[in-house]
Amino acid sequence: MSAQFMQYLLTGLTVGAIYALLALGFSIIFNASHVINFAQGEFVMIGGMAAVSLTAAGLPYLLAVPLAIAAAALVGLALEKFAVEPARGASVVTLIIITIGASIFLRGLAMLVWDKNLHPLKPFTGDTPIAIGGATILPQSLWVLGVTLAIVLALSWFFGRTLLGKAMLATSHNRLAAELVGINVRMVLFLSFGLSAALGAIAGILIAPITLTSYDVGVMLGLKGFAAAILGGLGSGMGAVVGGLVLGIAETMSAGYLSSAYKDAIAFVIILAVLFFMPSGLFGKRGGERV
């Protein structure tokens, strides 16, 4: 393995982990409501920008990070309560359009609250690259990978072992039956927005020291996360993680070996290819519904 390949792989894994967090957010909301939440990218932006502001205000990371995540989660809950919930009973397409509107609104609001500049966030633990097999990795990348791994483990524990997690899975599988056993499916939807927003914010905070952040960082990241979710199969947790990593690696490889001009195109080529040839993705449920 050449050092160059190793370098692309490490970079790809880092970016891919971020996409995976976004894709998990898409999948959790999709499972609860069959809605694709196009405001998912804005949670990333809110997390990153809030962390920048809070640390600039002198708060230590240990305080600023949880606060930034909480802020994004609150925005997620508010989005469900005031934009999605009132349209309960509307078609899924209507709800998806609502989330698109919400994302434009949140982006505009962020531009007013903050500004249009790029903001750096200080790396959590320094920026001295660490050498691995001829390649180097930033300490922040290790944070990205480590935290993503921890979140994936925590989520699989939550959905596999806790009653609330199982109730959320049950709701996604059969909403009617879930209501009949007494699961409050509106609460499940509410929670899923909060959880997805928190995941998005974590992704935004993790990546901000590497790529900088700004009011419109959510547009591209949201689309990439969506592509990862589609690739893995919407609604599949495993699929979201694999889809995110594959997309991240494919992107950095093509940027490295072909041309970085095509980097962003990869995600869209993948969306099209999956929709044409494998509509349910790598791990998605076969068949499914027509829209």
Residues in contact with another protein by CB under 8 A are: 163, 166-167, 169-170, 173-174, 176-184
- Considering Cα of 201, then 45, then 20, then 166, what sign does the dihedral take? positive
How many other C-beta atoms are found inside a 10 Å radius of the C-beta of residue 134? 12
Minimum distance, C-beta of residue 285 to another protein, in the bound complex (Å): 9
Residue 2 vs 94, nearer CB to another protein = 94
Q: Taking the complex as a whole, how short is the minimal distance between the CB of residue 27 and another protein, in angstroms?
A: 14
Q: Vertex 229, ends 175 and 254: CA angle to 5°?
A: 175
- Output the smallest distance, CB 110 to another protein, in A: 36
DSSP bridge pairs for 132? 135
Residues 6+ apart with CB under 8 A from 263: 251, 252, 254, 255
Least distance to another protein, CB of residue 187, Å? 9
Place of tokens 């500049």: 117
81 versus 173: smaller Cβ distance to another protein: 173
Q: Least CB distance from residue 151 to another protein, whole Å? A: 22
Q: Tell me how far apart the alpha carbons of residues 111 and 16 are, in angstroms, rounded to a whole number.
A: 27
Do residues 69 and 54 lie in contact, with contact meaning Cβ atoms separated by under 8 Å?
Answer: no
Separation of alpha carbons 229 and 283, rounded Å: 10
Residue 100 beta carbon to another protein: minimum distance, rounded to whole angstroms: 28
Taking alpha carbons only, the member of 42, 31, 3 closest to residue 204 is: 42
Q: Which is nearer to another protein, 62 or 180 (CB)?
A: 180
